[in-house]
Structure 1
C-alpha cells in the first residue's frame, strides 16, 4: 500500500480509474450507468450516474474494507487525530447510534444531557440502555439549554458509579460547548468511556482558536457530520475512535445497521472533503469565523436581534462557544424564531437552518460568501421593520425537565393506546415528539406527559414549528402506555 499522504483521495482515484475502463455492467444498480433511467441522468448528470456503482474488487467493500476504502479511513483517522475512523453513509444518525451501541447494552447506564439528538434516544430504544439525564442549565434571556456543568457530571457519576459511558454534545446546535477535557478526565478516572456527538463540530479539527475537538480532548469516540460544516454530500459522516476502542468490535456494530450497498458518491465525497479540509481547512474556517463575526456585528446593529457569541462563556455550563455558529435570538423583535425562519424563506428566498420558539440559526461554512451575508442582514432588517412588534405573549424555548418512568426500549415496545393529545396528561409516552430541526425530543419513549409539555407542543404547532415523531402525523393524538405507571 502507498504511504499515507493527505494529498491523496484513494476512493476518488479508484473511481476515476474505473471510469476509464470499458467494464460491461451485469451488476447493480439497475440503471446501468444511467442508460436505463435517462431522466435521472439528465437531472444528476452523466458523470454522477456513471459513478453510482456497486462494491467490487477494484473499489473495495465498505463492510470489510481492505484496499481503497481502508486507505481512505486511515487518512481520515490521521487527519482527525483518531486511532481509527469509519466512513459512514447513513448520516451522523448512524454514526451516533453505532457509537452508543458499541459501549452500552440492555440495562446498562449511560450519562448524557437531555438535549441530545433523537438518534441517541433511538440507539437506547435499540439496545435497551438506561439514560441517566443531566439537566442542562438554561439561559433565561435566550431560552435555550446550555452545556453540562462539571459539578452536574460529578454528581451523576457519584450517584451512578456503574454507568458505562458519558455522552457530550460538542457543540450543541446553538454552538455551546461543555468543558470536554475535564469531563473526559472524570469519565476515565471512574472507569467510564466518553463519547461526543460532534454533528456540528467537524471544523474544530481544522480551524484555529475554535473549541477543542473530541479526539484532542481524549474522548473515546466521536460522531462527526462531514456533510454539515465539512462540505461532503448530505448523509455522509465519520465515526472516530480513540485507542481504547477495538476497531473490529466497532466495525461489527456498524455492520449491524449500516447498508451493505454503500454509495460511492457519498464515500468519494467523504474522501475528497477530508483531503480538502486537511490541505485547506485552516484558511477556510478562518474565513468562516470572519464572516460570522461580521454578520453578528451587523445583525446586532439592527436592534432587537441578539446574535450571541463567546460573551456568554461562564467557564462551566458555557465553557466555550463555536464562533462559526450564527445563532440569533429574535424575541425582542416581537417574533418567534420560527416566524423569522418562515418569513426569510417565504418573503426573501433565504433558507436558514432552523427556527425555534426564540432563536434562529443561519449555518455558515466553507461555501458562504460576503454577498450572502449582506443579503441575510438586509432581510433581517426588513423583517424587523415590516413584521416586528411586541414580545408580549411569546414563549421562550425553555428546557422542560423530563420525568423518566420507563426505559426508552421498554416504553417503545410496550402495549400502548392512542389518545387525543390533550387527554394524555399524566400518562407515559411511547413515542417521540420533536421539532425538526434541530431534532431534540420534547418527549421520548418512557417519559411522563405533563401539562407544561402539552402547552409547549400546542404553542410550537401554532407558531409553525415542524413537528415530527408520532405515529399520528398531525400530532392530534399520542401513543401512551396502557395502564398507570
Structure 2
C-alpha cells in the first residue's frame, strides 16, 4: 500500500475547495448553503456547506471519472481489492448488489441461516434459490458462530451447480470462519464467494484481527465503514476482485438501484476514514486491542459474568470459530439472574450505556476507533456494579436455547412466496401455515422466519418470547401478534 498516496482525500479536498468559492446556487439542494436557513441554524453551517450536488468538479457517483474515481481507487488499494465502489445506501445495498450481480433467477446460492434481512430481500429481488446451511451453535452463550469448512464441502457436493456462496466475516458476535479454505474450495468449483463484512471494515488494518475477505481472494465483499471505520452512518463500500464476476455487471446493478443524488457528506466521510485507517490504523487498533484485552481480564473476574476472548478460537474448525475479533465484547449475563434483554435495558436506563444488541444469555458491546480508556472503563465498571447488585440474589436465567436455532423448512421459494396471495392471521393460528413475510428481531435484523418457510410451534414460541422481552419484532403489520401467511383470506 502506497502510504504517500493514502494521505490524499480527493473528495473531501475537492468539496472543501468547492464550498469556499462562494457560488450563487441555482441548483439543488434547496437550502443553497444559506447560513440563515432553518436547517443551518438547527444543524450547523458546516453541515450545509458540505452538502452539495454532483458537479463536474465533484464528480458523479453513478459514473465516476474524477475525484470519486480517484477515491475509489485509493479505497480499493487500502482493502487489497481490484476495485471498490462507494455506497451511500449502506451495506444493505452492498449485499443486494453482490447477490444480484452473481445470481440470476433460479440460480442456487449457499447461505448460512443467520444472515441479515438484506440477504433475504436480495433473494426475493434476484429470484435466486437459497441453499441454507446451518452455522455452528454455541448453546452456552446462545449465539450462532461461523460455518465449518466440512459443512461447505458437503453442501457443494450436494449442489455442485451452485453459483455463489455467502459468508459472514465476522458474525455480529465477532466470529470468523476459515475463509481462506472456503474460498479455495469454492473457486475450484467456479463458485463465487460473496462476503458480508458489514462489521469488519477495520479488519485490514491490524494483523491480530481476522483476515480481510479481499486480501484472501473473495470475489466480492461489502463493508460498513460507518460501523467500525469511523465514517458517517449509512456510508459503506463494495469491493471486487477480478475473475468470476464481471465489473460491468456490478456497475450496472449499482446504477439500477442506488440513488443518483449521493450525499457528499457520506462520500467525504469515507474518504477521510479510509485515509485515517491506512495511515494510522495499525497504531489505533494496537492500542484498542490492548485496552480490550485488559478489560476482558477484568470482566472475567466479575462474579456471574463471562466474556468471549481469544481463547475462544478453535483452529481445528470443530465449532466454526477459526478466528475472533477482540473488539467485540460478547458478555454472558444470565448467571446474574437476568436475561440479556434485561441487562440491555438496565444499562441504558440506569447507567446511560447504549449496547449494540442483546440475546437471551448475552449482550454485545462494540468497541471502535472513538473509544478511550475512560469509555471502556465505564463499561467494565457497570458490569462490576451489576454483579454486586444481582449476582446470587436469584437463580440464573435459563431457557431452552436450542428452540431459537431451529432451521425452518422451506416450502415455497422466497420470491414466489413474496408475490403470492396472502392472508393476515393471529400468530396463535399460524401453526402449519407457510409464512408470507420476513419476521426479524432487531437488532441485529436476523430473520426468525422468511417468506415461504413453514411455521412451527418453536417459531410461534420464539415469536412470543421476543415480544415478552420487549424486543423490536419487525414484520409487515404494525399490530403485534399479527402475521401474513400464504393463501387468500376466505372472508374477503
Partners of 1:92 and 1:224 within 8 A in 2: yes
What TM-score comes out, normalization by structure 1 length?
0.96
Alpha-carbon distance between aligned partners in 1 of 2:34 and 2:223, rounded to the nearest angstrom: 32
* Structure 2 counterpart of 1:318, from 297, 304, 321: 321
1:155-178 per-residue CA deviation (whole Å, 9 max, x = no partner) reads 110111111011110000001111
Aligned counterpart, 1:415: 421
SS across alignment from 1:431? coil
Matches within 5 A, 1:52-451: 52-244=51-243, 245-315=245-315, 316=317, 317-388=320-391, 389-396=394-401, 398-451=404-457
| Displacement after TM superposition at 1:390 (Å) | 1.6
| Displacement after TM superposition at 1:422 (Å) | 1.0
Partners of 2:434 and 2:452 within 8 A in 1: yes
Partners of 1:331 and 1:394 within 8 A in 2: no
Partners of 1:193 and 1:220 within 8 A in 2: yes
| Displacement after TM superposition at 1:23 (Å) | 1.1
Aligned counterpart, 1:17: 17
1:204-231 per-residue CA deviation (whole Å, 9 max, x = no partner) reads 1111211111011110000011001100
1:246-287 per-residue CA deviation (whole Å, 9 max, x = no partner) reads 222211101111100000000000001000000000111112
Alpha-carbon distance between aligned partners in 1 of 2:420 and 2:296, rounded to the nearest angstrom: 48
Aligned counterpart, 1:51: 50
| Displacement after TM superposition at 1:396 (Å) | 3.2
Listed as ranges, the gaps of 5+ residues in structure 2 are none
Alpha-carbon distance between aligned partners in 2 of 1:55 and 1:210, rounded to the nearest angstrom: 37
SS across alignment from 2:353? coil
Alpha-carbon distance between aligned partners in 2 of 1:14 and 1:328, rounded to the nearest angstrom: 44
SS across alignment from 1:406? coil
Alpha-carbon distance between aligned partners in 1 of 2:151 and 2:364, rounded to the nearest angstrom: 28
Alpha-carbon distance between aligned partners in 1 of 2:180 and 2:41, rounded to the nearest angstrom: 50
Alpha-carbon distance between aligned partners in 1 of 2:327 and 2:208, rounded to the nearest angstrom: 11
What TM-score comes out, normalization by structure 2 length?
0.95
Alpha-carbon distance between aligned partners in 1 of 2:371 and 2:400, rounded to the nearest angstrom: 32
1:426-481 per-residue CA deviation (whole Å, 9 max, x = no partner) reads 1111111111111111111111111101111111111122211x112233110000
SS across alignment from 1:386? helix
Partners of 1:196 and 1:223 within 8 A in 2: yes
| Displacement after TM superposition at 1:34 (Å) | 4.2
The verdict on how the C-alpha distance between 1:297 and 1:235 changes in structure 2, with shifts beyond 3 A counting, is: same
| Displacement after TM superposition at 1:36 (Å) | 6.8
Question: Which 10-residue stretch deviates more, 279-288 or 66-75?
Answer: 279-288
Listed as ranges, the gaps of 5+ residues in structure 1 are none
Alpha-carbon distance between aligned partners in 2 of 1:291 and 1:227, rounded to the nearest angstrom: 21
Alpha-carbon distance between aligned partners in 1 of 2:407 and 2:305, rounded to the nearest angstrom: 28
Alpha-carbon distance between aligned partners in 2 of 1:164 and 1:321, rounded to the nearest angstrom: 28
Question: Which 10-residue stretch deviates more, 470-479 or 62-71?
Answer: 470-479
Partners of 1:406 and 1:447 within 8 A in 2: yes
Aligned counterpart, 2:459: 453
Alpha-carbon distance between aligned partners in 2 of 1:365 and 1:392, rounded to the nearest angstrom: 30
Alpha-carbon distance between aligned partners in 2 of 1:43 and 1:308, rounded to the nearest angstrom: 42
SS across alignment from 2:202? helix
Aligned counterpart, 2:30: 30
Alpha-carbon distance between aligned partners in 2 of 1:85 and 1:352, rounded to the nearest angstrom: 31
Partners of 1:59 and 1:68 within 8 A in 2: yes
How many residues align? The count is 480
Alpha-carbon distance between aligned partners in 1 of 2:10 and 2:300, rounded to the nearest angstrom: 45
Alpha-carbon distance between aligned partners in 2 of 1:259 and 1:381, rounded to the nearest angstrom: 47
Partners of 1:357 and 1:460 within 8 A in 2: no
| Displacement after TM superposition at 1:339 (Å) | 0.9
SS across alignment from 1:357? coil
- Report the aligned-residue RMSD: 1.6
Partners of 2:347 and 2:353 within 8 A in 1: yes
SS across alignment from 1:227? helix
